Protein backbone atom coordinates (compact mmCIF):
# COMPACT_ATOMS: atom_id res chain seq x y z
CA UNK A 1 0.00 0.00 0.00
CA UNK A 2 2.96 2.28 0.66
CA UNK A 3 4.02 2.01 -2.99
CA UNK A 4 0.56 3.10 -4.12
CA UNK A 5 0.75 6.34 -2.13
CA UNK A 6 4.22 7.03 -3.53
CA UNK A 7 2.74 7.20 -7.06
CA UNK A 8 1.65 10.50 -8.57
CA UNK A 9 -1.89 11.71 -7.87
CA UNK A 10 -2.94 11.23 -11.50
CA UNK A 11 -1.98 7.56 -11.44
CA UNK A 12 -3.64 7.05 -8.05
CA UNK A 13 -6.90 8.55 -9.30
CA UNK A 14 -6.74 6.55 -12.53
CA UNK A 15 -6.22 3.29 -10.65
CA UNK A 16 -9.05 4.05 -8.23
CA UNK A 17 -11.41 4.84 -11.10
CA UNK A 18 -10.34 1.63 -12.83
CA UNK A 19 -11.02 -0.35 -9.64
CA UNK A 20 -14.50 1.15 -9.26
CA UNK A 21 -15.29 0.58 -12.95
CA UNK A 22 -14.25 -3.08 -12.84
CA UNK A 23 -16.10 -3.66 -9.56
CA UNK A 24 -19.33 -2.12 -10.83
CA UNK A 25 -19.05 -3.89 -14.17
CA UNK A 26 -18.54 -7.23 -12.44
CA UNK A 27 -21.59 -6.68 -10.27
CA UNK A 28 -23.85 -5.62 -13.16
CA UNK A 29 -22.76 -8.14 -15.82
CA UNK A 30 -24.53 -11.22 -14.30
CA UNK A 31 -27.82 -9.33 -13.95
CA UNK A 32 -27.55 -8.18 -17.56
CA UNK A 33 -27.24 -11.83 -18.55
CA UNK A 34 -30.45 -12.68 -16.67
CA UNK A 35 -32.29 -9.74 -18.25
CA UNK A 36 -31.05 -10.56 -21.74
CA UNK A 37 -32.09 -14.19 -21.29
CA UNK A 38 -35.69 -13.18 -20.69
CA UNK A 39 -35.63 -10.50 -23.40
CA UNK A 40 -33.62 -12.15 -26.21
CA UNK A 41 -33.52 -15.83 -25.25
CA UNK A 42 -30.61 -18.02 -24.25
CA UNK A 43 -29.04 -18.36 -27.71
CA UNK A 44 -28.76 -14.63 -28.40
CA UNK A 45 -27.74 -13.91 -24.81
CA UNK A 46 -24.86 -16.37 -25.09
CA UNK A 47 -23.85 -14.83 -28.40
CA UNK A 48 -23.95 -11.29 -26.97
CA UNK A 49 -21.88 -12.28 -23.93
CA UNK A 50 -19.29 -14.04 -26.09
CA UNK A 51 -19.03 -11.05 -28.45
CA UNK A 52 -18.66 -8.65 -25.51
CA UNK A 53 -15.92 -10.74 -23.91
CA UNK A 54 -14.11 -11.22 -27.22
CA UNK A 55 -14.25 -7.48 -27.96
CA UNK A 56 -12.74 -6.78 -24.54
CA UNK A 57 -9.94 -9.26 -25.26
CA UNK A 58 -9.19 -7.68 -28.63
CA UNK A 59 -9.27 -4.21 -27.11
CA UNK A 60 -6.81 -5.26 -24.41
CA UNK A 61 -4.44 -6.77 -26.95
CA UNK A 62 -4.65 -3.66 -29.15
CA UNK A 63 -4.05 -1.44 -26.12
CA UNK A 64 -0.97 -3.47 -25.20
CA UNK A 65 0.44 -3.14 -28.69
CA UNK A 66 -0.23 0.61 -28.69
CA UNK A 67 1.46 0.94 -25.31
CA UNK A 68 4.58 -0.74 -26.67
CA UNK A 69 4.65 1.47 -29.77
CA UNK A 70 3.59 4.83 -28.28
CA UNK A 71 4.65 6.88 -25.31
CA UNK A 72 2.69 5.94 -22.17
CA UNK A 73 1.58 9.49 -21.36
CA UNK A 74 0.41 10.08 -24.93
CA UNK A 75 -1.51 6.79 -24.91
CA UNK A 76 -3.24 7.67 -21.61
CA UNK A 77 -4.31 11.00 -23.09
CA UNK A 78 -5.66 9.29 -26.23
CA UNK A 79 -7.52 6.77 -24.05
CA UNK A 80 -9.07 9.54 -21.98
CA UNK A 81 -10.21 11.44 -25.08
CA UNK A 82 -11.63 8.28 -26.66
CA UNK A 83 -13.57 7.32 -23.54
CA UNK A 84 -15.02 10.81 -23.26
CA UNK A 85 -16.04 10.92 -26.92
CA UNK A 86 -17.68 7.47 -26.83
CA UNK A 87 -19.19 7.97 -23.40
CA UNK A 88 -17.73 5.05 -21.44
Pairwise CA distance, residues 67 & 27, whole Å: 29
pLDDT tens digits for range 26-63: 888 888 888 889 999 999 999 988 998 899 889 888 87
> Quick check: is 88 in a domain?
no
The count of residues in the chain is 88
> Quick check: is 16 in a domain?
no
Pairwise CA distance, residues 5 & 23, whole Å: 21
> Quick check: is 6 in a domain?
no
CA dihedral of 83, 77, 21, 14, whole degrees rounded to 10: -160
Residues sharing a CB contact under 8 Å with residue 2, sequence separation 6 or more, in sequence order: none
> Quick check: is 12 in a domain?
no
Q: What is the pTM of this model?
A: 0.56
Contact 14, 76 (CB under 8 A): yes
Amino acid sequence: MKEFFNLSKQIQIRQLVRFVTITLGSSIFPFMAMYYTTYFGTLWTGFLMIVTSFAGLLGSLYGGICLMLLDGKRLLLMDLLERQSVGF
